[in-house]
Structure 1
Amino acid sequence: MAGPDASDELPEFGEGHYWETHYEKAAEEGENLYDWLVGWTELRWLLEPLMGFDTRRAVLHLGSGNSPLPEDMYDAGYHHQTAVDISEVVTKQMSERNQASRPEIQWRAADCRNMAEICSESFPLVVDKSTLDAFFCNDQHALAIAEFIKEAFRVTSVGGAFISVSMHRPPAVLPWLQHHAFRWTVQAVPIDKPRPESSGRPGRCHCHAYICGNKRRTAASLEKHWLRLAHRVREHPDSDLSGSDFDASSDSDSQDGEAEL
C-alpha cells in the first residue's frame, strides 16, 4: 500500500476516523509496517545526539501508526519508548506485534491533541513524523495544529527536544513552532532520500526535520502567551498562522493568562 506524496490531495488526513478505517484496510491487505517520509536510517544521525547517545532516556512518538521507527530504535538499544496514535486498531496491532520481542515499548491509543494521561515535561525526546502534516489537512487546521504543538511542548522536558519531520517547508511550519507561547529554539534541517520504486514516482522525497529545543519552563511560556493564540485559532480555526493576521512576532508580551483549548 503506497503512502501519499506532498502533491497528493489529502482531504481527510486530519480526521481521526480516517485513520481507523485506513489501518483496518491496511491490515486486510497485509500491510504490517509502513514508514511515512523517512525512517531510522535517515534520522539516526539527528535523533541520537538529541538523546545524548543515552539509551536510558525516554522517547515519545506522536502519531506513530505502523511505522517501524520505534522498533528500529528499540533494536538500537533505546528501550524506553511510548508510541501514541489515535487509532485503536493500529495501536492494538503494534502492541501485539511487539509484545514478545520488544516488551518495553508502550503503545497507547490517544489523541495527540489532548494527551491527559501523559505527564507534563516527562519526555526528553518527543518525535513527530508527518503527524503535523496530517493536521495541516484538517478542516480546522489552525486549531488542530495549535492544540498539537501545545501538547508536544507540554510533554517535552526542560532541556529536552521535540523533532517534527514534515513534508511542509519552513515558511508554513516555522511560524507555528516559533510562536511566543512555546519558547522553543528551532532549527530546520533538510532531508531527502530516493523514493521507492513501488511509489511510481521517480526522483527523491524531500522533507525537513524541525528540531525544537525546550530551554524554559513550560508553564511560564504558556501562561504568558497562550491566551492570545488560543483566542485566534478559536476565532479563525482554518486560518494560516504565517499570514499577516497571524504573525507570531506581533504577539504582545503584555498578554497574560492561560487558556485551555
Structure 2
Amino acid sequence: MELPQLQVKQFSEQSYWDARHKGEALGYEWYRDYASLRPVLTRHLPRQEPILQLGVGTSAIQTDMVLRDSYTAVHSVDYSPVAIERLEAARVESASAQLQGALSYEVADMRALGRHEDGCFGGILDKGALDALLCGDNGEADAAAALREAWRLLAPGAAYLMITSASPRARLPVITGAGVPWASVLVYEVGQRGALAGPFEVRLGAASGGGGGGGGDVDGMLGGAVGRLPEMGYSHMCYACVKP
C-alpha cells in the first residue's frame, strides 16, 4: 500500500524520529537484520577498520557486527538525541567489555560530520538513512550532501554500503548525480530465507562525463543484470559504492 505524501515526508523530520524512538524497542531493524545482510557487510566492511554507521536509530546491527564477527570499532550516528541516548545507555550498562570498547555513538547530522577527518573510516553503512532524507522537501539536495560527506570520510578503496528498498532505476541517479566520482558501484539483491543475488556491476561509463559522479544515462547504467532488478519478492537492494 502506498503511503500518503504527508506520511512519507515525516520520515525526513527529526521530531518524528525523536517521538518514535522514545517508545520503540531497542533492536528494531529497518529493512533487514544482520543475519540476512552479513555476506554483503563482511565483504565490503573490513572488521579491523573503523566503520561508520549512518542513521542508526534503535538498530542492534552494530552489536551483532561486534559480537558475531569481531568488528573492532563501529561508530554510529543519528540526529535523534533520543536514539543516541538510549543506545549509549545500553552500551554503558552492557556486561560485555567487547561491546563497551568497540561501540561508540554520536548525535550528528549525516550531511555534515565535520569533526571527523577526511578518509578516517574504512567503510560506511547506511541502512535506510538516505531513504529517509529523500522523503523531505529538499530530498535530492540533502541526499547529495550526505553522499559527498560519505565520500570525504571514506579511506581510499573503502566502500559506502547503502541498504534500501529502492530499485536501481530509482537509486542510481541519486548515487551518480551527487558529483561523487565512485570507482565502482556493485549491486546486490537480498531476498527472503537467505536468498542473495549479485554482485552486479553498474556501467558507470554510461554516466555523463564517463565517470561515476555525473548522473547521466540511466538506461545505459541499467544494462545487463542490473536492469532486471529486483527479481525477488519482498527484497532489498545493497549498493556498494567504492572510492578510488
TM band (smaller chain): 0.7 to 0.9
Give the whole-Å Cα distance in 1 for the aligned partners of 2:43 and 2:17.
32
Secondary structure of the structure 2 residue equivalent to 1:181: coil
Q: Is the contact made by 1:178 and 1:186 (CA closer than 8 Å) also made in structure 2?
A: no
Per the alignment, residue 113 of structure 1 pairs with 111
Matching residue's letter, 2:49: R
Give the whole-Å Cα distance in 2 for the aligned partners of 1:41 and 1:131.
19
1:47 aligns with 2:41: yes
Provide structure 2 residue ranges, at least 5 long, that are not aligned to the other structure. 194-231
Per the alignment, residue 247 of structure 1 pairs with none
Q: Is the contact made by 1:168 and 1:207 (CA closer than 8 Å) also made in structure 2?
A: yes
> TM-score, normalised on structure 1?
0.71
**C-alpha RMSD of matched pairs (Å):** 1.8
Give the whole-Å Cα distance in 1 for the aligned partners of 2:40 and 2:50.
16
Shift of 1:79: 2.4
Give the whole-Å Cα distance in 1 for the aligned partners of 2:242 and 2:38.
17
Give the whole-Å Cα distance in 2 for the aligned partners of 1:74 and 1:143.
34
Secondary structure of the structure 1 residue equivalent to 2:235: strand
1:81 aligns with 2:94: no
Q: Is the contact made by 2:122 and 2:159 (CA closer than 8 Å) also made in structure 1?
A: yes
Q: Superposition pairs for residues 162-177 of structure 1, below 5 Å? A: 162-177=160-175
Give the whole-Å Cα distance in 1 for the aligned partners of 2:20 and 2:175.
29
1:64 aligns with 2:56: yes
Provide structure 1 residue ranges, at least 5 long, that are not aligned to the other structure. 195-202, 216-261
Q: Deviations over 1:143-200 (max 9, x none)?
A: 1111111111111111100000001111121112123721111112111226xxxxxx
> TM-score, normalised on structure 2?
0.76
Q: Is the contact made by 1:37 and 1:205 (CA closer than 8 Å) also made in structure 2?
A: no
Give the whole-Å Cα distance in 2 for the aligned partners of 1:22 and 1:59.
26
Q: Deviations over 1:46-77 (max 9, x none)?
A: 111224xx532111000011111100001020
Secondary structure of the structure 2 residue equivalent to 1:187: strand
The one of 90, 103, 106 aligned to 2:100: 103
Give the whole-Å Cα distance in 1 for the aligned partners of 2:189 and 2:39.
13
Aligned-residue identity in percent: 24
Give the whole-Å Cα distance in 2 for the aligned partners of 1:62 and 1:152.
9
Give the whole-Å Cα distance in 2 for the aligned partners of 1:154 and 1:17.
28
Secondary structure of the structure 2 residue equivalent to 1:11: helix
Q: Is the contact made by 1:34 and 1:68 (CA closer than 8 Å) also made in structure 2?
A: yes
* Count, aligned residues: 196
Q: Deviations over 1:95-143 (max 9, x none)?
A: 1112232112111010111111221111111000001110121111111
Per the alignment, residue 248 of structure 1 pairs with none
Per the alignment, residue 192 of structure 2 pairs with 193
Secondary structure of the structure 2 residue equivalent to 1:13: helix
Per the alignment, residue 28 of structure 2 pairs with 34
C-alpha distance 136-180 of structure 1, shift in aligned 2 (>3 A): closer
Secondary structure of the structure 2 residue equivalent to 1:159: strand
